[in-house]
Structure 1
Amino acid sequence: MPNHRLSLILLFILLLSVSACLNKHRSTGEAEKYDLPQMKDSGELVVLTLYSSTSYFIYRGQEMGFQYELSQQFAKSLGLKLRIEVARNVPELIHKLRNKEGDMIAYNLPITKELKDSLSYCGEEIITHQVIVQRAYGKVRPLTDVTQLIGKDVYVKPGKYFDRLVNLNKELGGGIHIHSVKGDSITTEDLITQVYQGKIPYTVCDNDLARLNTTYYPNLNIQLSISFDQRSAWAVRKDCPLLEQAATKWYKENLTSPAYKASTKRYFEISKSIIHSPILSLREGKISHFDKLFKKYAKKINWDWRLLASLAYTESNFDTTAISWAGAKGLMQLMPATAHAMGIPTGKEQNPEESIKAAIKYISSTNRSLRMIPDKKERTKFILASYNAGLGHISDAMALAGKYGKNKFVWRNNVENYILLKSNEEYFTDPVCKNGYFRGIETYNFVRDIMSRYEVYKKKIKK
């Protein structure tokens, strides 16, 4: 019996020793360095960012965004595969980095003394400031000095823009009519659109967001600065000096590279608006030079050829050489990956017949994905919306419509309202949304423009 007890005691001591060793090994493992060499061993760079029009978003099924493209270029230079992790806001971004849920933040993170104590800034130091967004021309001359804001109506969202205006108003001795726009469904980009439309005279935003929006609305003036410069950059943990050095070195060496310049041009310089021309020949009953092809291929999906022509007009203005800011090519403006998946041979993306054939395949595929929408005419609007935005964002808008008591199988005044709200953080971070931020106003207008032009075609051009 004593031997049995002794055996149990020895076994217990052995188990304690093994447990202590395992705990020691685990704690050592947790404290292990995870810098660039370890990332290279894993083969992956995990980048943290936020959804926005200037950082990261999904467009027509493809990942896009200025910060995303720079991250991709940086990861490639290291021979690493890029993985994006999206946070809801800046505090969560910082928490995820500190918690080792990502290797670096690729976002214009404000440089502050508080953050410098726990993070290391890297890459290029970006200087941003707040600007007045106003119309470049019209009945009223653009403001050129902050003192001219006295007596003017400025519309802003609550937060940093509102706070800056309040401070500026005090500095000037009062007189600026500051309107705090508190509607949940209104974003800063919505206010910029309202300035462009002449609905409001002025709003405020950061200069990088303002620059991006001038590519959609060329009649905007964004020259008047109303704040001090704010420095911002990418960031890594303090214990990643090698990654910090690599990012800073890469930035210095690549600021003038073709890839970096192309990304800057894509988001901040190339116009995203198309100048449209009238019907080719009303007398001859011709919409375009491609009417025969529209008639030939529209039959395959049971569409009126004039609707297909309206889609092509909105996409490319019937320009077979057109290449969009996002890289979509040809008459029907399919993204390269989509074009090849739909059978367009490499190098034939701008061939009009190949482009139309591929578009028909894509429309047919989208139609199958949306067969839960019973009304065929209604489904056509959803197909057009998906053609512009990608199916993922339309699915999100349908889910939001259903959640908020609207008919998710009806586009106008139902789902279209929620594609607009996909640019609002409250909505694109909703658990029913799987595809994040999206500039929905483009899709909203896209469907409405095509359908209204189709009605004009029906009245003026024989079937």
Structure 2
Amino acid sequence: MRKYLFTCLLLFSLLACKNAHTSQKDVNVHDLPQIKDSGELVVLTLYSSTSYFNYRGQDMGFQYELSEQFAKSIGLKLRVEVAKNIPELVKKLKSGKGDMIAYSLPITKKMKDSLTYCGLEVITHQVVVQNNEGKTKPLKDVTELIGKDVYVKPGKYYDRLVNLDKELGGGIKIHKVTSDSITVENLITQVSEGKIQYTVCDNDLAKLNATYYPNIDIKLSVSFDQRASWAVRNDCPLLAKAANEWYKKNKTSPDYAASTKRYFELLKTTIHSPILSIEDGKISHYDKLFKKYSKEIDWDWRFLASLAYNESNFNPKAVSWAGARGLMQLMPATARSMGIAAGEEDVPEESVKAAVKYIASIDKSFSMIHNKKERRNFILAAYNAGQSHIYDAMALAEKFGKNKLVWYGNVEDYILLESNEEYFTDPVCKNGYFRGIETYNFVRDINDRYKVYKKKIKH
């Protein structure tokens, strides 16, 4: 009898343990059904010009837009968590701090042991970036790199060039650019400006930068193709399946095509025209509006005109790659908050009136800068970049011993560095990657043009 009771107790204990183990296993499952119960899809990504960044207060980026499209397709809201680098990206995914990596993660055998690649898949390769202007014709074959000066950042680009040099028997003049203040995109800018002959980068980054610099050639490949994809944990087969089905169905959709066009095809620069009529003392057809509304912020109307010229080339129907509209190029959310009704973004007076209201609100945010002329530079920068990135640049300037209340030669230097990983991942930099060269040039261009307007156009 005792033996029978002991056997029953043992079987009961084993069954209880099994049930407990099963229950615990069920609790740990976090695949698509559990994600849908939570109401949001948490994606992990990195800050970069091709993945995720904030521009004028709006979240943007090719990878971000596609992950938002995917989340919407499965009825979920999107939440983004940013990692510092790829190893941290993978670590966060494995530890459950995100549901999916929405970044072009290189596909490797090692990674396949712990991750399931799914969703967006791209083919990347490295290309030579070269200037297509002037007498020198763009290189057509890698053998033509022999004897040429190529400037690259340390890492995969430098390593690939070293290997290519060996394959060709030597002769490529490889310059490793180790300065922390110079990024891959800075090197591309230098190629466009003719300061250096050649650099190397991934083709997607090259395509994006070609929309800023139409004078660069990016056709010459220097590496084999590398597949890259989004990824989930191996225990999320349903999420992986949904991502694969979405990508297969939507890679030819209008939304997908629009995102591709926005980042890799549409020119990011405005072609400008000269002053309307110096003889008649006119800058544009909208001078009366600039004169009327500039008084509300105590600006010279010619300065406001210079801003409008830089934004839209005085075209009230202009629409930027990022979705800014109208004469003063306000982003949709900003336009709404400043009182422009939907459908009235193209009305010149509504655009100028709202822009002046927006400038007044930015002015208050920089009240710590007492010099009016100096504060105006910060207002311009914030108008172009969004206030958050200017605050980051100010914090970086202060940390590294510059005057955070002075733009030229101080804060402007750090808005440039916000495209550099070492700086945009600094603890004082709260808003991540930003392509600061546009803002750097924006402030300088408007001030320089204003000086010309003052000389040529009577007040």
Return the letter of the residue paired with 1:326.
Answer: A
* 1:30 to partner: Cα distance: 8.1
Q: Name the structure 1 match of 2:378.
A: 382
Question: For structure 1, which segment, 245-254 or 24-33, has the greater mean C-alpha deviation from structure 2 after superposition?
Answer: 24-33
Pairing 1:142–2:144 present = no
Identity over aligned pairs, percent = 74
Instruction: For 1:12-51, list aligned pairs within 5 A.
Output: 28=24, 32-51=28-47
Q: Name the structure 2 match of 1:286.
A: 282
Q: Name the structure 1 match of 2:89.
A: 93
Pairing 1:222–2:204 present = no
* 1:136 to partner: Cα distance: 1.6
Q: Name the structure 2 match of 1:417.
A: 413
Pairing 1:172–2:168 present = yes
SS of the equivalent of 2:246 reads helix
* 1:329 to partner: Cα distance: 0.1
Pairing 1:106–2:102 present = yes
Q: Name the structure 2 match of 1:159.
A: 155
Following the alignment from structure 2 to structure 1, what is the Cα–Cα distance between the partners of residues 64 and 101?
Answer: 11
Q: Name the structure 1 match of 2:11.
A: none
* 1:374 to partner: Cα distance: 1.2
Counterpart pick for 2:446 among 450, 454, 462: 450
Change (3 A) 1:323 1:337: same
SS of the equivalent of 2:402 reads coil
Counterpart pick for 1:239 among 225, 235, 241: 235
Please report the TM-score for the alignment, with normalisation by the length of structure 2: 0.95
Following the alignment from structure 1 to structure 2, what is the Cα–Cα distance between the partners of residues 138 and 86?
Answer: 42
Return the letter of the residue paired with 1:386.
Answer: A
Counterpart pick for 1:212 among 208, 215, 219: 208
SS of the equivalent of 2:230 reads strand
Q: In the TM superposition, what whole-angstrom CA distance separates every residue of 1:85-118 from its partner, at most 9, and x where no partner exists?
A: 0000000000000000000000000000000000
Pairing 1:124–2:120 present = yes
Counterpart pick for 2:355 among 346, 356, 359: 359
Q: Name the structure 2 match of 1:6.
A: none
Pairing 1:81–2:77 present = yes
SS of the equivalent of 2:431 reads coil
Return the letter of the residue paired with 2:206.
Answer: A
Following the alignment from structure 2 to structure 1, what is the Cα–Cα distance between the partners of residues 251 and 21?
Answer: 44
Q: Name the structure 2 match of 1:429.
A: 425
| Structure 1, unaligned runs of 5 or more | 1-19
Following the alignment from structure 1 to structure 2, what is the Cα–Cα distance between the partners of residues 257 and 230?
Answer: 25
Following the alignment from structure 1 to structure 2, what is the Cα–Cα distance between the partners of residues 137 and 448?
Answer: 25
Following the alignment from structure 1 to structure 2, what is the Cα–Cα distance between the partners of residues 421 and 457?
Answer: 31
SS of the equivalent of 2:423 reads helix
Following the alignment from structure 1 to structure 2, what is the Cα–Cα distance between the partners of residues 26 and 395?
Answer: 51
Question: For structure 1, which segment, 196-205 or 116-125, has the greater mean C-alpha deviation from structure 2 after superposition?
Answer: 116-125
Following the alignment from structure 2 to structure 1, what is the Cα–Cα distance between the partners of residues 42 and 89?
Answer: 13
Q: In the TM superposition, what whole-angstrom CA distance separates every residue of 1:427-446 from its partner, at most 9, and x where no partner exists?
A: 00011111100000000000
Return the letter of the residue paired with 2:320.
Answer: S
Q: Kindly tell me the number of residue pairs found equivalent between the two proteins.
A: 444
Counterpart pick for 2:183 among 179, 187, 192: 187
* 1:323 to partner: Cα distance: 0.1
* 1:256 to partner: Cα distance: 1.1
Q: In the TM superposition, what whole-angstrom CA distance separates every residue of 1:282-314 from its partner, at most 9, and x where no partner exists?
A: 000000000000000000000000000000000
Q: In the TM superposition, what whole-angstrom CA distance separates every residue of 1:348-379 from its partner, at most 9, and x where no partner exists?
A: 00100000000001000000011011111000
Following the alignment from structure 1 to structure 2, what is the Cα–Cα distance between the partners of residues 282 and 43?
Answer: 59
Return the letter of the residue paired with 1:150.
Answer: I
* 1:139 to partner: Cα distance: 1.8
Return the letter of the residue paired with 1:48.
Answer: L
SS of the equivalent of 1:326 reads coil
Change (3 A) 1:454 1:145: same
Following the alignment from structure 1 to structure 2, what is the Cα–Cα distance between the partners of residues 89 and 54?
Answer: 15
SS of the equivalent of 2:458 reads coil
Following the alignment from structure 1 to structure 2, what is the Cα–Cα distance between the partners of residues 63 and 124?
Answer: 19
Change (3 A) 1:29 1:302: farther
SS of the equivalent of 2:200 reads strand
Q: Name the structure 2 match of 1:310.
A: 306
* 1:124 to partner: Cα distance: 3.2
Return the letter of the residue paired with 1:61.
Answer: G
Q: In the TM superposition, what whole-angstrom CA distance separates every residue of 1:39-85 from its partner, at most 9, and x where no partner exists?
A: 00000100000000000000000000000000000000010010000
Compute the RMSD of aligned alpha carbons.
Answer: 1.5
Return the letter of the residue paired with 1:313.
Answer: Y
Q: Name the structure 2 match of 1:70.
A: 66
Return the letter of the residue paired with 1:123.
Answer: G
Return the letter of the residue paired with 2:457.
Answer: I
Q: Name the structure 2 match of 1:399.
A: 395
Q: Name the structure 1 match of 2:4.
A: none
